[in-house]
Amino acid sequence: MDHLTPVSALAADPKSDPGEVRLSQARLGDRGVIASVHVRPDVDHRGLSADELERRLLELGFVEGAVLEVIHEGAIGRDPIAVRLDDMRVALRRKDAVDIVLRLTGDAR
Amino acid sequence: MSTASARIALVGNPNSGKTALFNALTGSHQKVANYAGVTVEKKEGTITTASGRTVTVLDLPGTYSLRARSPDEAVTRDAILGQLKGETPPDVVVCVADATNLRLVLRLILELRQVGRPMVLALNMFDIAQRQGLRIDLEGLARDIGAPIVTTVATRKRGIEDLVAQIEAKVEALANSGALEAANTWHEPSPAEIRQAHAEAQRLMKAHVRPAERPDTLTGRIDAVLLHPVAGLAILLALLFVMFQAVFAWAGPLMDGIEGGIAALGGLVAAVLPDGLLQSLIVDGLIAGVGSVLVFLPQILILFLFIILLEDFGYMARAAFLMDKIMGGAGLHGRAFIPLLSSFACAIPGVMATRVIDSKRDRLTTIMVAPLMTCSARIPVYTLIIAAFIPNQTVWGFASLQGLVMFGLYVSGITSALAISFIARRLFWRGQVEPFLMELPTYKTPDPKSVLRNLWQRASIFMNRAGRIILPLMVLIWVLSTFPYPPEGATGPAIDYSFAGRLGHLIHPLFAPIGFNWQMTVALIPGMAAREVAVGALGTVYAVANAEEQVGTLAGALSADWSLAMGLAFLTWYVFAPQCAPTLAVVKRETNSWLWPTVMFAYMITLAYLAAMGVYHGAVALGWG
Ligand SMILES: Nc1nc2c(ncn2[C@@H]2O[C@H](COP(=O)(O)OP(=O)(O)O)[C@@H](O)[C@H]2O)c(=O)[nH]1
Ligand SMILES: [Mg+2]
């Protein structure tokens, strides 16, 4: 899978819309609505197919329109993160959250 | 199908209360097929309904989707689809839902509908839903999902009769029509289909569920402390430390009591029975053998009590969150924390609990290092050697030196496990990493009854294993160390002439470089059955060998016979050595290959030999030889 872009390179690219942020880049307290969950097929997801990662995210409730807030960060490298997702709490690593794009709601930043 | 019996399966998201409901339904009529760390093995029980029908109930592992991602979830999928080998599919599927967390389970229900089996929805945790002022339009929802809904409070046994009645109605309808409600049209949903199902679930929520008036804020407030980057980790470490100190401080008096009781019983039997072979078999073989098993039941109970309480409280997922980065650095999944923590009690439930890890590689790595965690079977060995060689002192004004050494042994187990998995990931797996995606359940007060039931199940599993493996072995050791008798006019201790003695002498040269004497090597052979057997074996070897002199306790005998360096080498050996045939057998079964148990045996014995050699020669150099 050498031809694939590593996830880290991708994570750095800023979204064009300032009101949007990748969940992998979100800070503690960031709040918003999930704008898209499109796991990129041309990126190496450490052995998992993009389709599979996308389905797993969807199955746990990371779906367009869900309300999300970053509520905890790990001690080392602020990773993993815990988010409030609608009525539940979910923990995930930042590198698995790259393709979840959050549209921040008004007062968040 | 027969009208007299039926099968049902409980399915739902993790932490929705399936096991609690299973307990409420089946009471004491249940059997755990195997060692269960989390809900791993298939739990089966029976209910007898008012009309005299026998209903078999299956407690299935929790899942968010029938699209199984782990062996654990595959069991659930196969059971529901009727693809489980040697099992008939359930007549009725009982979906267990946490009433306060419906969104994801509604999507699962839509998948379950496609399977076409009759379904009943148990809306569990209804007490919490009511407390929160959550309003659910039960009739409307039941109509839309096409299944009757029963509200339940599993921990209080509320709604159980209604649930059984609904199940019976479904069973009867099925018996009368003789056909399923619909054909099975389930297939693995695509991302688009999952989105569509989410939209449908969202519509159901909007239509039938009014948001909670008083949503739970407690979980958030507790998490603010327990998941705090600094305080959270400190609390986790403190918790582990307290756990291990408690295992020692609390279990001590109980163990002394059991030991005293066993010794008194042995004395009593010895007084009644005439001297000779029978007395020796019963006192030295059987009673001492049972005693060596019983004596560390208190420690197992205390350890399991902690694990069960933390799990039911909802802390285990938090611990996985806190540990993920550290474990991840070593190439382990945050979820490996639970199996590895279970391995502190016994590697067998630990290895089996690895089924919750989705990826095969993460799972294999976790299985490989699980036996390095200090299981409770090592505790008797450690306790014995520590009692013999480490003075019972208080250091820094509060900690016991013996407890500290024990803590150190635990730490070396953990550290080596992390190191091995780090190396394994680098050498063999080359970078495949499974995503860490985990729901953090709301905190719940553990239900004392279910905690006790769980504790009892685990204790009986242990006693079962002990009875089946350890007791026969104790008798075998007795035979090996009793026969053949020494020749007339022999001068050395009797065991020197026995099979055990000869075997010990035979393999002794291999172990001389790491400081072992032949009594130690004799103890290693039966110790393969289970680590704690080594204590009984040492007891037998020394008690028989020194029977005439009546040297006080075994610890006294050891400290008189071994140097400190030998004691430390023996401790080190037990940190690493694969001295447990049942674990290897379980690894064979879980991986379905002889390769992995072989790899495990080879790497652990190499590690043990090298480490014990290093420690022995180091200690001798320090003048402890
Ligand atoms: N308040 C309340 N707690 C419950 C109820 N059912 C289960 N619990 C608790 O919820 C937690 C998870 O339950 P468990 O049966 O282990 O869930 P499983 O993962 O689905 O098997 C445990 O602490 C239970 O005691 C209920 O109806 N009401
Ligand atoms: Mg369960």
More confident residue, A15 or B335: B335
- Domain holding A99, by residue range, is 7-104
Average confidence (pLDDT) over B512-541: 81
Using the predicted structure, report yes or no on whether residue B529 has a pLDDT greater than 60.
Answer: yes
pLDDT in tens, B145-155: 999 999 999 99
- A24, A33, B108 from A67: Cα distances, Å: 16, 5, 20
Tokens of B408: 């150190």
Strands (E), B381-517: 394-395, 399-400, 437-439
pLDDT the model gives residue B469 = 62
Protein residue closest via CA to atom 8 of ligand 1 = B17
Using the predicted structure, report yes or no on whether residue B203 has a pLDDT greater than 50.
Answer: yes
In chain B, the domains with their CATH numbers are: 5-210 (3.40.50.300), 471-624 (no CATH)
Mean pLDDT check: name the lowest of B13-27, B290-304, B409-423: B290-304
Q: Are A90 and A83 in contact (CB under 8 A)?
A: yes
Q: What's CA B477's distance to the chain center, in Å?
A: 28
Mean pLDDT check: name the lowest of B291-300, B438-447, B579-588, B615-624: B291-300
More confident residue, B41 or A33: A33
Give the SS3 label for residue B42: coil
pLDDT the model gives residue B478 = 76
Residue A87 lies in a domain: yes
Question: What letter does residue B527 receive in the DSSP assignment?
Answer: G
Half-sphere exposure of B123 (CA within 13 A, CB side): 26
Residues 6+ apart with CB under 8 A from B316: B310, B337, B338, B341
Chain A contact residues (CB < 8 Å to B)? 45-48, 51, 53-61, 63-65, 71-77, 79-80, 82, 86-93, 96
pLDDT the model gives residue A30 = 95
Using the predicted structure, report yes or no on whether residue B427 has a pLDDT greater than 50.
Answer: yes
Give the number of domains in chain A.
1
Distance CA B581, CA B276 (A): 33
Residue A23 lies in a domain: yes
Residue of A nearest to B64 (CA): A59
Backbone angles phi, psi at B596, to 5 degrees: -70, -45
What is the CATH classification number for the domain harbouring A74?
2.30.30.90
Work out the mean pLDDT of chain B and round it to a whole number: 84
Rounded to the nearest 10 degrees, what angle do helices B595-621 and B581-591 cross at?
140
Residue A61 lies in a domain: yes
Using the predicted structure, report yes or no on whether residue B549 has a pLDDT greater than 60.
Answer: no
Distance B353 CA to ligand 2 centre (A): 12
Q: Least CB-CB distance to B435: which of A53, A58, A64?
A: A53
Using the predicted structure, report yes or no on whether residue B131 has a pLDDT greater than 50.
Answer: yes
Average confidence (pLDDT) over B282-298: 75
Q: From the CA of B153, give the closest atom in ligand 1.
A: 27
Distance CA B391, CA B398 (A): 15
Using the predicted structure, report yes or no on whether residue B104 has a pLDDT greater than 80.
Answer: yes
pLDDT band at B510 (very low <50, low <70, confident <90, very high): very high
pLDDT band at B552 (very low <50, low <70, confident <90, very high): very low
Q: Do A96 and B435 touch (CB under 8 A)?
A: yes
Using the predicted structure, report yes or no on whether residue B129 has a pLDDT greater than 90.
Answer: yes
Which of A4, A59, A70, A83 to mutate: most B Cβ within 10 Å?
A: A59
Average confidence (pLDDT) over B533-542: 76
pLDDT band at B455 (very low <50, low <70, confident <90, very high): confident
Q: Number of Cβ pairs closer than 8 Å across A and B?
A: 116
Tokens of B1: 């199908």
Residue A31 lies in a domain: yes
Q: Chain B contacts of A92, Cβ < 8 Å? A: 435-438
pLDDT band at B494 (very low <50, low <70, confident <90, very high): low
Using the predicted structure, report yes or no on whether residue B5 has a pLDDT greater than 70.
Answer: yes
Using the predicted structure, report yes or no on whether residue B257 has a pLDDT greater than 90.
Answer: no
pLDDT band at B93 (very low <50, low <70, confident <90, very high): very high
Residue A1 lies in a domain: no
Q: Do A55 and B194 touch (CB under 8 A)?
A: yes
Q: From the CA of B447, give the closest atom in ligand 1.
A: 25
Strands (E), B386-507: 394-395, 399-400, 437-439
Mean pLDDT check: name the lowest of A49-58, B243-252, B389-398: B243-252
pLDDT in tens, B564-623: 999 999 999 999 999 887 788 778 877 777 899 999 999 999 999 999 999 999 999 998
Q: Ligand 1 site: residues with CB under 6 angstroms?
A: B 12, 14-20, 39, 62, 124-125, 127-128, 153-155, 312, 444, 446-447, 450
Residues 6+ apart with CB under 8 A from B6: B53, B54, B55, B56, B91, B92, B167, B171
More confident residue, B1 or B108: B108
Percent of chain B residues topping a pLDDT of 70: 90
Residues 6+ apart with CB under 8 A from B406: B244, B248, B382, B383, B386
Helix spans in B491-552 (H): 499-511, 518-524, 533-545
Residue A59 lies in a domain: yes
pLDDT the model gives residue A8 = 45
Residue A2 lies in a domain: no
Give the SS3 label for residue B435: coil
pLDDT band at B377 (very low <50, low <70, confident <90, very high): confident
Average confidence (pLDDT) over B189-215: 94
Distance CA B292, CA B295 (A): 6
Q: Chain A contacts of B440, Cβ < 8 Å? A: 82, 88-91
Strands (E), B338-469: 394-395, 399-400, 437-439
More confident residue, B398 or B25: B25
Average confidence (pLDDT) over B450-479: 75
pLDDT the model gives residue B551 = 33
Mutate to test the pocket of ligand 1, among B57, B76, B155, B156 (most ligand atoms within 8 A of CB): B155
Global pTM reads: 0.80
Average confidence (pLDDT) over B407-431: 86
Average confidence (pLDDT) over B165-187: 84
Residue of B nearest to A47 (CA): B432
Neighbours of B468 (CB within 10 A): 11
pLDDT in tens, A54-107: 999 999 999 999 999 999 999 889 999 999 999 899 999 999 999 999 999 865
Contacts with A, B 398-427, CB within 8 Å? none
Distance B19 CA to ligand 2 centre (A): 4
Helix spans in B228-296 (H): 231-249, 251-272, 277-280, 288-294
Q: What is the ipTM of this complex?
A: 0.87
